[in-house]
């Protein structure tokens, strides 16, 4: 400490020289993006997702090119003499289903449903979850107590059972399915956001903002929210495949998309009775579903790794 005394007398207030050059600092986002770009698996997943999205968007075009409508039953050309589905051929690239419809075209349209349900439900869930979690974590007190408990209750609900109950009253549809998925997903996001908010709230820079006279709203949006974006983004990419699976499950049980509109879920439900004679009817939509979810999960893992390379990967390769 006496060194300090000595130095106090002599030193002028000169700073340690920072590195020269007026370089723009690289934000954590830019750093993460740079890391992500170098990750080959992430790129592969991104390509797959873009591919599937293109197929979904271009489904009508595919239908046109192949000359087969989505819901039309090609009883002459599509079914065998006994009335069973035909396998993959030059005419029906992915074969036909139990009603003589083109499986490839229906898979393409099914992609629309899956992606729509997955993305929309996830975004709604994230939005609600962030708002609730941020409010609960920031304001604390009785409000937090109530919201936290509420989220815990929602999380432990038997969601499928309640989906059954709800659909039995209002009837199945894609919209209802998305609503159900969003309702049972937001709590997970909310819990994470609340936890993050609670720990950020204790940091000194929040106290500094308060001492500057910042209002609560400003602190929440300018100081806390940017620190939430990264974990929320990671969670979003893991939430989408979960939502896709959820929709497929609901459709499989007849609680989601109503036939004849194809969803990978209800196609697989139909295939249940025909798997002995039509493997393509099971395996091809199944492969589409599995590929989609795998791609999103792996991508989510890579994104998490890009933001926090020191952390443990969920699915190490």
Stretch that binds another protein, among 65-73, 80-88, 128-136, 163-171 (CB under 8 A): 163-171
* Residue list 216-235, contact with another protein (CB under 8 A): 218, 222-223, 226-227
- In the bound state with another protein, the residue whose beta carbon lies nearer, of 36 and 214, is 214
Q: Taking Cα atoms as reference points, which of 68, 62, 149 lies closest to residue 101?
A: 68
Strand partners, 85: 79
Q: How far is the CB of 62 from another protein (least distance, A)?
A: 23
Q: Are the C-beta atoms of 155 and 192 separated by less than 8 Å? A: no
- In the bound state with another protein, the residue whose beta carbon lies nearer, of 62 and 147, is 147
> ∠ CA 212-139-239 to the nearest 5 degrees?
110
Residue position matching structure tokens 């983004």? 233
Q: How far is the CB of 4 from another protein (least distance, A)?
A: 5
* Residue list 22-41, contact with another protein (CB under 8 A): 22-28
Buried b (16+ CB within 10 A) or exposed e, 74-90: beeebbeeeeebbbeee
Residue 303 CA, chain-centre distance (Å), reads 12
* Residue list 131-160, contact with another protein (CB under 8 A): 153, 155-160
Residue from 34, 50, 61, 272 that binds another protein (CB under 8 A)? Answer: 272
Q: How far is the CB of 189 from another protein (least distance, A)?
A: 15
User: Would you count residue 274 as binding another protein (CB under 8 A)?
Assistant: no
Q: Are the C-beta atoms of 84 and 277 separated by less than 8 Å? A: yes
Residue from 81, 82, 90, 204 that binds another protein (CB under 8 A)? Answer: 204
User: Would you count residue 255 as binding another protein (CB under 8 A)?
Assistant: yes
Instruction: Give the C-alpha separation, 288 to 47, whole Å.
Output: 14
Residue from 87, 195, 254, 259 that binds another protein (CB under 8 A)? Answer: 254
Instruction: Give the C-alpha separation, 150 to 164, whole Å.
Output: 21
User: Would you count residue 90 as binding another protein (CB under 8 A)?
Assistant: no
SS3 208: helix
User: Would you count residue 199 as binding another protein (CB under 8 A)?
Assistant: no
- In the bound state with another protein, the residue whose beta carbon lies nearer, of 175 and 218, is 218
């Amino acid at each position: 400490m006496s060194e300090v005394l000595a130095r106090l007398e002599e030193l002028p207030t000169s700073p340690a020289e920072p590195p020269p050059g007026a370089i723009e600092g690289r934000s954590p986002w830019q750093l993460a993006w740079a890391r992500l770009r170098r990750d080959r698996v992430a790129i592969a997943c991104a390509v797959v997702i873009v591919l599937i999205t293109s197929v979904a968007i271009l489904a009508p075009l595919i239908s046109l090119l192949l000359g087969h409508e989505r819901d039309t039953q090609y009883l002459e050309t599509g079914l065998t003499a006994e009335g069973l589905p035909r396998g993959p051929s030059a005419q029906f690239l992915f074969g036909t289903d139990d009603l003589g419809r083109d499986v490839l075209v229906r898979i393409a349209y099914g992609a629309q449903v899956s992606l729509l349900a997955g993305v929309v439900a996830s975004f709604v869930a994230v939005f609600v979850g962030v708002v609730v979690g941020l409010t609960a974590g920031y304001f604390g007190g009785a409000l937090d107590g109530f919201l936290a408990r509420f989220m815990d209750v929602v999380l432990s609900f038997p969601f499928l059972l309640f989906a059954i109950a709800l659909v039995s009253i209002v009837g199945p549809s894609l919209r209802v399915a998305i609503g159900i998925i969003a309702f049972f997903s937001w709590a997970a996001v909310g819990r994470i956001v609340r936890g993050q908010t609670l720990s950020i709230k204790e940091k000194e820079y929040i106290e500094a903002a308060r001492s500057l006279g910042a209002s609560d709203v400003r602190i929440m949006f300018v100081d806390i929210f940017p620190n939430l974006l990264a974990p929320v983004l990671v969670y979003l990419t893991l939430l989408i495949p979960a939502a896709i699976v959820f929709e497929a499950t609901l459709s499989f049980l007849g609680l989601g998309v109503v036939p004849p509109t194809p969803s990978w879920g209800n196609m697989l439900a139909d295939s249940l009775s025909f798997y002995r004679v039509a493997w393509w009817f099971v395996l091809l939509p199944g492969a589409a579903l599995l590929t989609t979810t795998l791609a999103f999960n792996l991508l989510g893992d890579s994104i998490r790794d890009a933001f926090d390379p020191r952390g443990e990967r969920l699915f190490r390769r």
